[in-house]
Structure 1
C-alpha cells in the first residue's frame, strides 16, 4: 500500500480577474487504486462544482485529480478550503487559506 502524494492548488489570479475560481487537488504515486476526494469550505463539505478525474495508472502507480469550481464571489466568501483524500483506511487533508493566496 502506497499513500498518495496530495497537492492543493489555489485559483490563478487570471481566473479570479475573470470572475471564477477553480481549486485543484492533485493525487499522485499511490497504489492500489481507490482514492476518494472530498472538498470542504470552512469545515462544511461541498459537492456542487466538484469534478473528479478517473484514476490513471503508470508503472503500477496511480494518479488522479479533483477540481472545485466556484464563482469569484463564493471564493471570496470562504476562508479555509480543504481537499480530503481517503485511500482505503487512510485519510489525509490538504488545506489552504484564501487570505494567504491574495496578491
Structure 2
C-alpha cells in the first residue's frame, strides 16, 4: 500500500510504502520514479521488519520529494523484493494525487 501526503504550503511530497503480512524477514523496499517515460531508482528510509502477533512481518519506507522533484515526475512505484522471490510492486501516478 502506498500513501501520499502533499504539503500544500511548500509543495513537498511524502510517499509512504507499507508492506505487511510478509514472510520471511529480509524484504527490501525500493522506489522507482518515472519521469517522461524513463524510470530511475530512488532511495527512501526503510524501517526494520516488525513481527506481528501472527508471526508475519511489516515494513515501511518513506520517500520525500521536493517541489521540483514532485512536479517533474509522472509516477512513483514502491517495490518489495526478497531473495529470488518475485517482486511485488504498487504504482502511484501523479494524477491519482491531489
- Give the TM-score normalised by structure 1: 0.81
Deviation >6 Å, runs of 4+? none
Residues 51, 16 of structure 1: CA spacing in aligned structure 2 closer, same or farther, 3 A cutoff? farther
Over aligned residue pairs, what C-alpha RMSD do you find?
Answer: 1.3
In the alignment, is the contact (CA less than 8 A) between 1:16 and 1:72 conserved in 2?
Answer: no
Q: Which segments of 5 or more consecutive residues in structure 2 lack a partner in the other structure? A: none
Query: How many equivalent residue pairs?
Result: 92
Deviation of 1:9 after TM superposition, in Å, equals 1.1
- 1:19 equivalent in structure 2: 11
Larger fraction in helix: 1
- After superposition, residues 1-103 of structure 1 pair within 5 angstroms as 7-12=1-6, 15-42=7-34, 43-47=39-43, 50-59=44-53, 60-88=55-83, 89-102=85-98
For residues 64 and 93 of structure 2, the distance between their equivalents in structure 1, rounded to whole angstroms, comes to 16
How high is the TM-score relative to the length of structure 2? 0.84
Gaps of 5+ in 1: 1-6
